[in-house]
Amino acid sequence: MSGQSPKTTGLSPKEGPPGTKVTIRGENLGKSQEDLISVSICGVECLMYSEWLTSQKIISRSSRCKGLGDVIVTTRSGGRGSSTVQFKGYEEIVGPTKESAVWVNEDDYYQSSARHRPTSPAMMYSTDPLGLCVDDDSPTSGRSGKISDSLFRELFPDALEATPQSYANIASDHFLPDWYLLQHHNNTSFNDLKRGLDSLRAKCEAQLTPNASSAPVTFLKTNVLPVIECLDALKALHLALKKDKQEVGPDLNAKVDDLIRKSTEEAHAIFDAVLSRKDKADSTRNALNVLQRYRFLFNLPSNIDKSILKGDYDIVINDFSRAKSLFSNTSVNVFAKVYSEVVQRVEKFRAMLNEKLRLSCCQNDGRNVDEVKRLIRYLNSLDQSGDPAWDSINTIKQTLLSSVEKCRDKHKNSKPKPVAIEAEDMSDNEESVGYPVEAPKQIQFVEELTNLFNQSFPDLFRLGTAYLNGDLYTKETFEQLRAKDDVFHKEMVEKPIQTLCDEMRAAILPNSIKNMPHVQQWSYEIDEQLVLWLPYCLRCVINCCSNLSKLELSSNPNQNVLKPLIQLIFDLRVHSMQCLFNQSASEIKNLHTKEMWDIQLDDTVGARTQLPLLYECKVVEILQLVRETVLQVRGTDDTDIFSQINVQGSVKQLAQTLLQSFICALEKTVSTPHNSPSSTPKALPRLEDRTLIVLCNCGFTYNQVIPRLHESFEKFGYPDMNLVMKITQNKFKDLENRLFDQYIEGKCDVVIGGIEPAMYLFETEWFTTNATPSDVSYYVKEMLMNLIEIQAEVYQIAPALVEKVMYFIVESALEEVERLYDSIAAKITDTARVQSVIDIGALRLAFAHSRQELTVLSNKKLNECLNCLLVHNYDINDDLVDKILNTFEQSMHLQLSCFRYEFEGLLLTV
């Protein structure tokens, strides 16, 4: 035993009853059938059932064994082997109703001369079919040695990949006679081979046509031991038969027949009972199978209720679709009854979905479009009649339009409610910034209406777009959807937007709907509060337009669905600007109520108040407010409102009205003064003083404030205001001239009104006295004192106006003196005439060192007075006149010095 020991590594199958065909796999399982000595399965010898195939595979059958056991192969070349796997044997229990049989194919087995020793099918074939000796040590052997495998490959190139030994094996499927002769009888002579062939042919013919006389003898010789065993068995059977006849009697079959009959009856009874139970079990099993197979239908009503409660609508629809496809046309009454119950529940479910869809479509706040789409999909899956998607779109549109009407009716006749706004939403009203303010009902309506559209219209458009794109599982064809496209854009998109614009125009732009009889009018009054809220209203409309523009409402670039809304925004911007300018102009007209008469000296105009600066602040504030809330706040088209000529003209007119409104405030400051309630109570200046102060304010306004306001207009991006500024400055100059004339007229009345009474105080002396004059007349001194008083009054308030005021007052006074002298020149005495010359000389002396214009004017007027008095060449005592005038100049030195001034800026040098 020089080879390696066998090793069993695999079994197939690994368990079975006796007689199971087992395939044994492993290593070194022998070289041939003759090499096998033993094949043991679970300790039971199974060699007689074993067939060697290769050194790695043996096929055998298991014998009677129980439990697990090793499979051991023993060979001559390797000895006793080992096993890494085990086979499990068991006995199969056979019942009275179970057919069982084990067929053992005994065709391949026959008994040899050895007792109880079966032979493998491989041993059925002779090792020397030619009748020649094949033993290696036999002297008659025709072999001289094995042929190498390389020679086999040369001789038989078309041979398969099997080993050369398999081609020399008579039992092999690859047997080649040529190779067999070369392998076993390569040195045998041809005659010997022919003799062997004849012997083989004779054996085959003897087996095919046996001799009648020699056949039994041959059979007995071959099977002597089985024949003896059969004779022993027959003898034992004969003895047993004789014993049974003695015990039972001559008729041995009666008892057996009786037992067989009883056994048959009992077996039939048992079998009938078993069959009845089997039939009952089969019927029960069939019923259970039906229930099990169709349990989906029977449980569907309760499952639908549970799924609806859980909200698993997809499961309900899928189950119903499955049941409909299987049982809608069933002829089975039970199935039809259950299916009708399912249909009833689905009808209720469909009604519930319709109600949910209606409520979702009628809800403006918090509408979930995805939920609406799901409900539409559910209804379409349940074969809802009509078109749920299109009906939902119509419902949302009608709900939106009805909500617009309700909103209008609610606010049109309602009282305004307090609404908190931020400072940037209103104007510069410091008292209301950051605090709750009662919003006008128009503003509340616009705010609620825009919020309503921001919430509902996107849902309407998105749902309609999904419908037209075929995303809502509708039954409509592509052509039908295209036909509804125009209807959707006209009725569902353009009409609601036009309604939105019309309603907002009716609320805040009533003048723009005069040609719209279908739009309800609002009672509209532009008050201060409404104007303050217009920027906030504009922002609400712009936000609404911006939100709608994100929806891409029109696929046609040449068609702008938002054009009415864009035009509304443009008109509202213009209207807001007009209202803000007009409101500010009204406030500026009432600035006189905020005059506190806090006098401040200005280097250029003299005394002024804070009113011009307050006016400037008001204008700058409104310019900035309009810029931030109107000009910079633009809609989707980003249009500049000043791009249109009519708007430019309108804003210029508004700016002119705004700037010139201060003229009214200045006039009221003079005529109807008003102390500001927020200021500390002060004594109200006299009319003359107020006039001078307003003159200073007027000059300061058109010289400094108006140019700065012009710069502000340019800074904030308004159109060219050069012409407006020139016109405004001219208006302020006109006001200044009117006020100056008014002041001059008043002061002239004071001066001129005292000249004639003072001159006629000594009326009789003018016409009768001949006394020599000794002093200047009283009226001259009185007039000079009045002029000094006026000059001091003007200088105290407006030093720059002293020269101008004094020029016109002196001119009027001298004209009055000339008139008086002209009226009495022919009536007075010579001494009175001398007195008149002295008086004229005193007046000439008073104005001799004044400004050149005033000096020239006084000389001219006084010369005309002399011409009136000295019509005839009267002799005048010049020495007397000079003496009196010198005395007058000395005594009135301080008074006369008041008229000897020169301006150095505002410094009056006396």
Mean pLDDT within 340-362:
88
User: Following DSSP, what letter does each residue of 641-659 receive, concatenated?
Assistant: GGGSHHHHHHHHHHHHHHH
Give yes or no for a contact between 755 and 816, defined as CB atoms under 8 angstroms apart: yes
C-alpha distances in Å from residue 864, one per residue of 662, 780, 798, 816, 843 = 44, 17, 32, 12, 13
397: phi then psi, degrees, rounded to nearest 5 = -65, -45
**How long is the chain?**
910
pLDDT band at 75 (very low <50, low <70, confident <90, very high): very high
C-alpha distances in Å from residue 513, one per residue of 505, 537, 545, 603, 885 = 7, 18, 20, 55, 84
Question: Is the pLDDT reported for residue 6 higher than 90?
Answer: yes
- What DSSP state is assigned to residue 903? E
The most confident of the ranges 11-25, 442-456, 751-765 is 11-25
Question: Is the pLDDT reported for residue 336 higher than 50?
Answer: yes
Position 425 scores a pLDDT of: 47
pLDDT in tens, 714-767: 888 888 888 988 888 888 888 888 887 777 777 777 777 777 776 665 445 555
The CA distance from 833 to 845, in Å, is: 18
The CA distance from 331 to 317, in Å, is: 23
Which residue, 331, 307, 334, 336, is CA-closest to 319? 307
pLDDT in tens, 584-630: 888 888 887 887 777 777 666 667 777 888 888 888 888 888 888 77
- Count the Cβ atoms, other than its own, within 10 Å of residue 198: 12
The CA distance from 241 to 885, in Å, is: 207
**Residue with more model confidence, 238 or 527:** 238
Position 115 scores a pLDDT of: 42
User: Following DSSP, what letter does each residue of 243-292 receive, concatenated?
Assistant: HHHHHH-S--HHHHHHHHHHHHHHHHHHHHHHHHHHHHHHHHHHHHHHHH
**Residue with more model confidence, 900 or 200:** 200
DSSP-assigned beta bridge partners for residue 908: 903
Position 113 scores a pLDDT of: 39
DSSP-assigned beta bridge partners for residue 755: none
Position 39 scores a pLDDT of: 92
Domain boundaries, given as residue ranges, for the chain: 7-89, 222-251, 560-677+684-737, 761-898
pLDDT in tens, 801-823: 777 777 787 778 777 777 777 77
Which residue, 179, 177, 171, 173, is CA-closest to 153? 179
Mean pLDDT within 265-294:
84
Mean pLDDT within 249-269:
81
Give yes or no for a contact between 600 and 607, defined as CB atoms under 8 angstroms apart: yes
Lowest mean pLDDT across 530-534, 681-685, 780-784: 681-685
The CA distance from 778 to 839, in Å, is: 9
Which residue, 580, 574, 754, is CA-closest to 657? 580
Question: Is the pLDDT reported for residue 583 higher than 70?
Answer: yes
Position 23 scores a pLDDT of: 93
Residue with tokens 């469909």: 350
Angle 278-279-281 from CA coordinates, rounded to 5°? 60
Quick one: how far is CA 519 from the chain centroid? 35
The CA distance from 882 to 839, in Å, is: 11
pLDDT in tens, 512-553: 766 666 666 766 666 667 777 888 888 888 888 888 888 777
Position 87 scores a pLDDT of: 92
Mean pLDDT within 483-499:
82
The CA distance from 767 to 789, in Å, is: 31
Position 435 scores a pLDDT of: 39
pLDDT band at 139 (very low <50, low <70, confident <90, very high): very low
Tokens of 175: 């047997």
Q: What are all long-range contacts of 542-548, with beta carbons under 8 Å and residues at least 24 apart?
A: 542/569, 542/633, 542/634, 542/635, 543/450, 543/454, 544/450, 544/453, 544/454, 544/500, 545/569, 545/635, 545/636, 546/635, 546/636, 547/454, 547/458, 548/453, 548/457, 548/458, 548/497
Position 173 scores a pLDDT of: 67
19: phi then psi, degrees, rounded to nearest 5 = 90, 5
Residue 540 is which amino acid?
C
Position 426 scores a pLDDT of: 46
The per-residue pLDDT of the chain, averaged, comes to 76
Give yes or no for a contact between 27 and 100, defined as CB atoms under 8 angstroms apart: no
**Residue with more model confidence, 151 or 341:** 341
Mean pLDDT within 2-25:
88
Position 114 scores a pLDDT of: 40
Mean pLDDT within 395-411:
85
**Residue with more model confidence, 904 or 12:** 12
Model confidence pTM above 0.85: no
Position 59 scores a pLDDT of: 92
Question: Is the pLDDT reported for residue 197 higher than 90?
Answer: no
Tokens of 44: 């039971």
Task: Find all residues with CB under 8 Å of 131, minimum gap 6, and list them.
Answer: 196, 199, 200, 203
Mean pLDDT within 559-586:
82
Question: Is the pLDDT reported for residue 42 higher than 80?
Answer: yes
- Would you state the torsion angle of the CA atoms of residues 256, 262, 263, 269, taken in this order, to the nearest 10 degrees? 170
Question: Is the pLDDT reported for residue 102 higher than 50?
Answer: no
pLDDT in tens, 284-311: 888 778 777 777 788 888 888 888 888 8
Question: Is the pLDDT reported for residue 73 higher than 90?
Answer: yes
Position 416 scores a pLDDT of: 55
pLDDT band at 316 (very low <50, low <70, confident <90, very high): confident
Position 97 scores a pLDDT of: 53
Tokens of 541: 């409309």
CATH of domain 7-89: 2.60.40.10
pLDDT in tens, 568-578: 888 888 888 88
pLDDT in tens, 153-183: 777 776 666 677 777 777 676 777 877 787 7
Question: Is the pLDDT reported for residue 559 higher than 80?
Answer: no
Please report, rounded to a whole number, the percentage of residues in the chain having pLDDT higher than 90: 4
Position 40 scores a pLDDT of: 92
Tokens of 551: 């929806």
Question: Is the pLDDT reported for residue 8 higher than 90?
Answer: yes
**Residue with more model confidence, 144 or 288:** 288
**Residue with more model confidence, 902 or 81:** 81
pLDDT band at 74 (very low <50, low <70, confident <90, very high): very high
pLDDT band at 377 (very low <50, low <70, confident <90, very high): confident
Which residue, 483, 457, 474, 491, is CA-closest to 373? 474
Please report, rounded to a whole number, the percentage of residues in the chain having pLDDT higher than 70: 77
- Count the Cβ atoms, other than its own, within 10 Å of residue 815: 15
Question: Is the pLDDT reported for residue 492 higher than 90?
Answer: no
Which residue, 161, 191, 167, is CA-closest to 179? 167
Tokens of 122: 């491989």
Which residue, 227, 123, 108, is CA-closest to 170? 123
pLDDT band at 10 (very low <50, low <70, confident <90, very high): very high
Grouping H, G, I as helix, E, B as strand and the rest as coil, residue 8 is strand
Strand 67-75 and strand 86-89: the pairing is: antiparallel
Cis bond upstream, residue 13 (ω within 30): yes
Question: Is the pLDDT reported for residue 141 higher than 70?
Answer: no
Grouping H, G, I as helix, E, B as strand and the rest as coil, residue 904 is strand
Which residue, 80, 682, 349, is CA-closest to 690? 682
